[in-house]
Structure 1
């Protein structure tokens, strides 16, 4: 794990964007393409808007989601909508974007979520694996991606052999689809963004040891995948 200290959230966004662009450029030079997975929410908006204007062969980049709320793509809380609005603009408009789903069933009971997961796993199976980089955030409860502590579906998301699982967070609205912990750890590199004193305190606790009560700790306390942590 490498830590990068930044003086402000704005500095973090630009420095992290530059690092991501360098990683994607290296992947394109080596393999002819790059696969980037990104998280949603409000925190990465500045990062997306910094990244999308950087010089990169975006036509050789595939963008995936780390997680998604089970809402229509035109919903205000859709990560798909967020990525299209804030990342897939300017030069990055040339990237290929692959959401987990196109439409949702009328019901979102467990059986329907199972079917969504199966379809998402088939869709992602057509993409180049492993991913080159996944950009993660963290909540004050220690969740990352949609690996929420004590949520129904968490055990499957931590141990599934497929890249996607569903989770029903008790502390947040909407069922979620998320990349599983094994899929994240199969990525060539992970980048975690931490902003603010409260999240920094959670991060400091999580780095002390792996604990499913703080799912981000499972990312920080492993020796399989390099993790860069960007802190403001």
Structure 2
């Protein structure tokens, strides 16, 4: 599916979603500018802002663009959407990624709230600590999600034994430990994820999607309305709801 076709499908399927279609070579800079604008508005309105970010390789360019922008960084709290249950300095740690690519230069003045800070994390203990830290923070002003080619977002993976619990909107938990499906995605570390209920508490969700494989997955998500919602791709639970504003970025 071409991006233009996906844009048309998304606009018809999710009319409540704000869709941005920048040129590919301008997409990262425009997305960073948009996020920074929303954070400045939050700081002006409330004296502080909270930014939640996802891990993986996809957001690296965004982090590096965002850190170069003028922001009242000391008034910004940065935290995670999900994490791998590994030590903080492990190469697969999302916290390590954020420190290396976002919290540099002036952006190092931001307050960072990692989920794991012990050298030998135990999954259940790490989940309890992360849940307590997230519960103590204000409502996220901007929450940046990603999407895998399998339709996962955060660490809400299709066919995970714990997916139903993490998608339960009645759960009081902000963060849960989740087991991976079989065969597991790589890297195959146990995960901590923000629950869907807590994701939807954010003031704004941001979802950049790029690449032919992910466009095909997004098209599949658009067809999920024909299936029982419990069997829908995890990303469909973000795009189908109309309570929390979503900005979908589809560079073309």
In the other structure, the counterpart of 2:250 is: 231
RCO comparison, higher one (Cα < 8 Å, 6+): 2
1:220 aligns with 2:231: no
In the other structure, the counterpart of 1:123 is: 133
In the other structure, the counterpart of 2:172 is: 161
Q: How does 1:1-232 map to 2 (within 5 A)?
A: 1-8=17-24, 10-103=25-118, 105=120, 112-128=122-138, 130-159=139-168, 160-170=171-181, 171-172=184-185, 173-208=188-223, 209=225, 210=229, 212-232=231-251
Q: Distance in 1 between matches of 2:125 and 2:118?
A: 12
Q: Structure 2: where are the runs of 5+ without partners?
A: 1-16
Q: Distance in 2 between matches of 1:201 and 1:189?
A: 25
Stretches (4+) displaced over 6 A:
none
Structure 1 residue 19 displacement after superposition: 0.3
Query: TM-score, normalization: structure 1?
Result: 0.92
Distance 1:33 1:212, change over 3 A: farther
Q: Distance in 2 between matches of 1:213 and 1:113?
A: 27
Query: TM-score, normalization: structure 2?
Result: 0.85
Q: Distance in 1 between matches of 2:143 and 2:231?
A: 20
Q: Distance in 2 between matches of 1:21 and 1:227?
A: 16
RMSD, aligned α-carbons: 1.4
